[in-house]
Structure 1
Amino acid sequence: MYPKPYIDYLVYFHTNRDYFECHEVLEEHWKVADPRHRNVLWVGLIQVAVSLYHHRRSNYVGAERTMKKAISILDAHHQELFQIGLQPIDLISILNKHLRLIQASKPYQSLNMPIVDEHLVQQCHAHPLAQTFGWLTPSNLQDEHLIHRHKLRDRTAIIAERAKKLRKSRASRS
């Protein structure tokens, strides 16, 4: 009933709080489902994860900017949020409360999405990561790899792909 990348997103979001991976799995889904539109539900959820990633790293400017965008997008998609098992009014309220924390430069706190579909919760609980890390586990603020994931990841494939595109672009101009 729900796209697997969305379930993966929820599991990363509520277990080990790997917001970088939340972004990755849902971005891949969005690029297949509706890449031409930037104000769709999936982008709003991606931006929530990006905001929390920034907030956890004390990047309050980036966290505020992306949370405002996320709220704006998600607030326009109440029906779709409900269709993917979330309570839209509660979600927007939770995100606005978190935005106020960010704006006050308060330390990061883990938040939970208001999932109202018990079947969706059961699917998430059955996921191997939920079995490993537990459900609704607070973020491990001592895990440097989790907090600074974008700096510590292997970017070899990304760099190679960018170089390939640059060569192709230069070749087409010649």
Structure 2
Amino acid sequence: MYPTAYIDYLIHFHIERDYFECHEVLEEHWKKEELNQRHHYWVTFIQIAVGLYHHRRNNRAGATRMYYKALKGISLYATAIENLGVNVSELSQQLNKQIKLTLTPGSKFEDINLPLHDHNLIKECQNRCKQLGLNWAYISSSTVSQNIIHKHKLRNRQEVIAERDKQLHLRKQKRQ
């Protein structure tokens, strides 16, 4: 059985193409892990989503940087990522193709589908979709609304600002 946050990430990734939400849901899951027991392979999945988010918005430099970081993470955590039901070799090929697209002037953004190889994982995704009233069927970014494409600009940032202020306050307290 896989963590619900990971299943939700996969649904946002494939069904909604909401890469911003992929980042949010998995980062929250990762941060809940004990600091000395955090599984850094989650960061690799976050970097993939952030790379796609930047790429789709035509931030090629940001996308390229994230794709390279994700490739490094795949190299470091290949076994763990395979154990999460993803074909590491195929994923690396897909990210290398994305990098070529970001470096080719005039090229268009293309979605990727994570190469899932575990049928139980796919079944869990299908079941979670049913719970959420969704259909497990991959879509193209061409059908995604501008609200999702530019989500970081349109969301309420009060929580983010409050959390940053809190963390700054905690750091200042530690120094005293």
18-27 or 92-101: which moved more?
92-101
2:139 corresponds to which residue?
137
* Root-mean-square deviation over aligned CA pairs: 2.5
Identical positions, percent: 40
Unaligned stretches of 5+ residues in structure 2: none
2:97 corresponds to which residue?
97
Deviation at 1:31, TM superposition (A): 1.5
TM-score w.r.t. the length of structure 1 is: 0.87
**CA distance in 2: counterparts of 1:152 and 1:28, whole angstroms:** 20
1:31 corresponds to which residue?
31
Contact 2:16 2:144 in 1 (8 A): no
Q: Supply the AA of the counterpart residue of 2:149.
A: I
Matches within 5 A, 1:78-157: 78-105=78-105, 106-128=107-129, 131-132=133-134, 134-140=136-142, 143-157=145-159
**How many pairs were matched up?**
174
Unaligned stretches of 5+ residues in structure 1: none
2:22 corresponds to which residue?
22
CA pair 117-134 structure 1, distance change in 2 beyond 3 A: closer
Does the alignment pair 1:12 with 2:12?
A: yes
Contact 1:141 1:147 in 2 (8 A): no
TM-score w.r.t. the length of structure 2 is: 0.86
**CA distance in 2: counterparts of 1:61 and 1:55, whole angstroms:** 8
1:43 corresponds to which residue?
43
Contact 2:91 2:114 in 1 (8 A): yes
